Chains A and B, each alone.
Chain A
Amino acid sequence: MNLSDEQVLAMAPDESSRKSGKDLANPAKWVSKGISENALWGECQGSGSKPYQTQIDTGNMAFKCSCPSRKFPCKHGLGLLLLHARQQQLFTVQAPPAWVSEWLAKRAEKEEKKAEQAAAPEKPVDTAAQTKRLQARQQKVSDGVEELLRWIKDIIRNGIMAIPEKDRAFWENMTRRMVDAQAPGLAGMLRELSGINYYQEGWQTAFMDQLLRIYLVIQGYQHIDTLPAALQADVRSLIGFAQAQEELKEQTGITDTWQVLGKQTTEEDKLIVERYWLYGVNTQRTALILQFYVRNQGTATLALTPGGTIQAELVYYPSAAPLRALIKSQIAAAPNHSFQGYARWQEVMAAQTAISAQLPVYNDQVYTIANLTLVWHQEQWWLQDSHQQLMRIRNGFRHTWKLLALSGGMPLHMAVTGRETQYEPMGVWHENEYKIL
């Protein structure tokens, strides 16, 4: 397990954990520490009389700590991992103490139970009750969708000129109505609509784009029976119907060596959304792993290392353009820094058009593209490919100078996320090594 500082810190749930984790990456803070083939552990002297017991399953990256924090990973987990990343020589290989081996055994037992449960015959399902529940939900959603459509039409009838002057309640009321109508996906899309910067020039296009995305989802839902099965799944997912993960896990997935190209974290009303972007080395497929958890309620369980590599079986959610996936099983893998990707923007655009043809309301994608150069044009930075074609860097990109420093004006292979004509670099291949920005 060779992780860099950046990789460890990228796992932190927030800035304060990152800072505290750094403070704890100090040998003086650890009463004891050790490492074995698949675990890393240490005892950290906190404010209590007993030191906190921190343990990390390095085989299948998981954290546990006896501290009361609900953050995941907690500052102790981060600190221990960071200390190991910095001063490996301080950790002697030894048999894990009882508190570590018991945890590892429990984890293994859990995995076995999961496998057994999966193999066991299913409990009889009360299909009548299930159908009734589903019908009730569909009715609620249909009513909600009708209401949202009327709201949108009112806006269009009266004109969007006055939209920037609308107060918070205007957006919040309809968003809440969608939550009540059990359509959380639409509620999320409305939040994006209200989050548009209405002081910025060109807000009209940004507003109409998002309004039309919502309108398309409504139309899709109202005509769902006429759509292909895969697109039906997309529409349902955009509305907010959850896909049972257990059902997905029963399917055979795609096993590959996956490069974790990056992680993006956003927070909305204490709900933290982590997006991990993956690239399959053999299948050359991209995947998006989503993880949701409420701040301070430590329910996150996935800790992929940005810039790292995993050997995993992924199952894609049904979609006309599959991207979101879940990890059915994973083991740590040797770092893989190989690059494969598109040769030019034209190819990326063709791939995007293919997605758009299948799924008009598609979200950000991840692409790996060879030999992109940063250039300054029309008072902003662009990414130029080897055929001298340009793509705009998304507003608000924070790592331009780091990217310039790494490139020195030379082209670099890059991983970018985005859609249509704006992209954001996530990492680069530099000196034959993938580096996250």
Chain B
Amino acid sequence: MQRWNNIINTALLGTAKKAANSQGLSGPLQQAADKILAANTLDREDQLLQLAAVMYNYRQSGAQPETATVTPIAVCAAETKAYCTPQAIQVLHQVLETDSQQLLQQWLEYCIAANLLIPLVLLPGMLEKAYRNKSLRTMIAAVSGQRGEWLGQLNTDWNFSIVAESIEEPWQNGTTAQRFEALQELRSTDPVMALNWLQETWPKENAAVKKELIAALSINISITDADWLETLLSEKSKQVKEAAIYLLKKITGSTLHENYRQVLVSAIQLHNNTVTCVFPEKIADEIFASGIEKLSSSKAITDEAYILDQLIRSVHPAVWEKHFNRSPKEVLALFAQQPVLNPFIPALVNAILWFHDSQWALACTHYSEIFHIDLIPLLPPAEQDVYSEKYFDEYPDVILQQLLLRKEEWSITLADKVLRFCANNPFTNNQAFMNNCIRFIPVAIAKELDQYTTENANYFDYWKSIKAHLLNLLQVKKLTSDLYDFYDSPDERRLY
């Protein structure tokens, strides 16, 4: 190396300043150098270039591998699951080409259901996809097998591919976000145990972490949680206290809910099919301490009406069933017909949303003449279709937004309405839009695609290209769902 560095140093300075020399050379290199440097026919530049050429060839001819003690990478454990079939891999290639995350999720769902692994050659690409898209991580980790976990140890960006054996590990040792996720997961399967975990760790946590973790209780919240949450009202941290109040408001039997209910039932009475309202002279301070505001910010609404509105929003709609001894349909009719209750219809709808009551949502959409967009997610899928179909032509944009939040496929009639709308609004409902809603569009609509034409001649070509893209998406969707027909056949599986 030193010999070559001498050559480089001379070259850097230039032969006008420093001539080539044989410093540090020995053996045959020295002999060659002596010959070159002694040659009268060569100028200083040739001498350096020829000496360097000899060295270059010497180095090149004598190149050797490095010998060093290197700790090898731990070998990956053998897979216990089989790799997916060539047919499924083929479909995966097509899915990836569409660039539709929904189709990829659908393919991953198949792979998880079939208990198979993604092929090794595609593994780095898929792990990178998961790194860039958090929502894919759990699914991709599930189909990456031991090799994915092993790669995750080598590339920290991919360490989500380490599938946790249990949620206790991230709960004990994870970051706050991981602990929250673990608690949420447990809460959805075992709410009581999740509450116990939180109670055990509570004294050890600081206020910020308490505020983060307590939010997990909103899943499957019930009266069982009320006692403990009420003890938190004496917490020092205002944020924690507010978080506890927020949750208590969601529990129908909590003291807070009961206090609200009592104010309302004493104020609002039904006599001889007429509803009257007498605002109580005194309302307990705890009511206002729980976040109910005393003063209205609008001149059109009195302070009393404002307080009642807030209370109606915070009590379960079933309270009115019992209080008036009427069915939901009749209660809704009272709110619609009685002048005293009529201004509080939005508050009642809000209460339905607050308590996620599907039965009341169903009643409201059936018997109310007003369109309530927010209630759609609370309805059973078939009812969502019917309700959306009914109002789609009137409120296409808002309903479309809502439809994209669904989990289930749209009905053919609904998909038909959506596509007719898209045909006339292709710039907002373009190929990327189709990628993001392909999960909801039934495959059966593929054969009807030709009938969706745009009324605007300027959009013709653009809509045509969107339609071609949609057709491709539908075909890949069909191929993906067809995979389920094969996955239980062991002959189809092979190690890839």
Q: Which residues of A contact B (CB under 8 A)?
A: 5-6, 22-23, 25-28, 86-87, 152-153, 156-161, 204-205, 208-209, 211-212, 215-216, 219, 345-346, 349, 352-353, 356-357, 360, 373-377, 382, 384-385, 388-392, 401-402, 404-406, 408-410, 419-421, 430-431, 435
Contact = CB atoms under 8 A, between A and B. Distances in A.
Nearest to A354: B61
Nearest to B57: A360
Contact of B471 (A28, A156, A390, A435): A28
A26 B475 contact: yes
Nearest to B17: A159
A86 B90 contact: yes
28 contacts: A23-B472, A28-B472, A86-B93, A87-B90, A153-B46, A156-B48, A156-B49, A159-B13, A159-B14, A159-B17, A204-B11, A205-B4, A211-B49, A212-B56, A215-B53, A346-B64, A346-B65, A374-B73, A375-B70, A375-B72, A401-B124, A402-B124, A405-B121, A405-B124, A406-B120, A408-B76, A421-B63, A430-B120
B12 interface: yes
Given A159-B11, A360-B57, A402 B121 contact: yes
Contacts of A160: 11-12, 14
A410 B67 contact: no
B63 A420 contact: yes
A208 B8 contact: yes
Interface in B134-187: 147, 150-151, 154-155
Q: Which of A376, A377, A408 has the most CB of B within 10 A?
A: A408
B147 A405 contact: yes
B496 A158 contact: no
A373 B475 contact: no
B75 A409 contact: yes
A86 B64 CA distance: 45
B60 A389 contact: no
B284 interface: no
B44 to A, nearest CB: 7
Contacts of B472: 23, 26, 28
Contacts of A22: 97
Give the bracket for the number of chain B residues in contact with chain A.
Answer: 35 or more
Contacts of A208: 7-8, 11, 52, 56
Given A375-B73, A390-B65, 6 more contacts: A28-B471, A360-B57, A375-B72, A391-B65, A406-B121, A420-B63
Contacts of B61: 352-353, 356-357
Interface in B29-73: 43-46, 48-49, 52-53, 56-57, 59-70, 72-73
Contacts of A375: 70, 72-73
Contacts of A352: 61, 63
Contact of A384 (B48, B60, B70, B120): B70
B46 A212 contact: no
Contacts of A353: 61-63
B53 A405 contact: no
Contacts of B16: 157-159
A385 B8 contact: no
B405 interface: no
Contact of B75 (A152, A345, A410): A410
Contacts of B4: 205
B94 interface: yes
A161 B13 contact: yes
Given A26-B475, A215-B49, A349 B120 contact: no
Contacts of A392: 66
Contacts of A345: 65
B495 A153 contact: no
Interface of B: 4, 7-8, 11-17, 43-46, 48-49, 52-53, 56-57, 59-70, 72-76, 90, 93-94, 97, 120-121, 123-124, 147, 150-151, 154-155, 468, 471-472, 475, 495-496
A212 B121 CA distance: 41
Contacts of B63: 349, 352-353, 420-421
Of B44, B93, B471, B472, the most chain A CB neighbours within 10 A belong to: B93
Contacts of B68: 377, 390
Contacts of A152: 45, 49
A357 B62 CA distance: 10
Contacts of A26: 472, 475
Given A156-B48, A401-B124, A408-B75, A212 B90 contact: no
Nearest to B461: A47
B75 A389 contact: no
B44 A157 contact: yes
Contacts of A204: 8, 11-12
A404 B52 contact: no
Contacts of B14: 156-161
Given A208-B8, A408-B150, A157 B66 contact: no
B73 A420 contact: no
A209 B57 CA distance: 10
B72 A373 contact: yes
Given A204-B8, A212-B56, A405-B121, A349 B75 contact: no
The 5 closest A-B pairs by CB, nearest first: A159-B14, A408-B76, A401-B124, A345-B65, A389-B65
B7 to A, nearest CB: 7
Q: Which of B73, B155, B468 has the most CB of A within 10 A?
A: B73
A337 B9 CA distance: 49
Given A156-B45, A159-B14, A390-B65, A212 B97 contact: no
Contacts of A405: 120-121, 123-124, 147, 151
Given A356-B60, A384-B70, A5 B151 contact: no
Contacts of A27: 475
A408 B76 CA distance: 5
A374 B147 CA distance: 15
Contacts of B495: 431
A80 to B, nearest CB: 15
B13 A409 contact: no
A419 B14 CA distance: 29
A364 B398 CA distance: 62
A376 B72 CA distance: 8
A431 B45 contact: no
A160 B16 CA distance: 12
User: Which of A6, A25, A153, A435 is the most central at the interface, judged by chain B CB atoms within 10 Å of its CB?
Assistant: A153
B93 A409 contact: no
A175 B333 CA distance: 90
Contacts of B471: 28
A404 B154 contact: yes
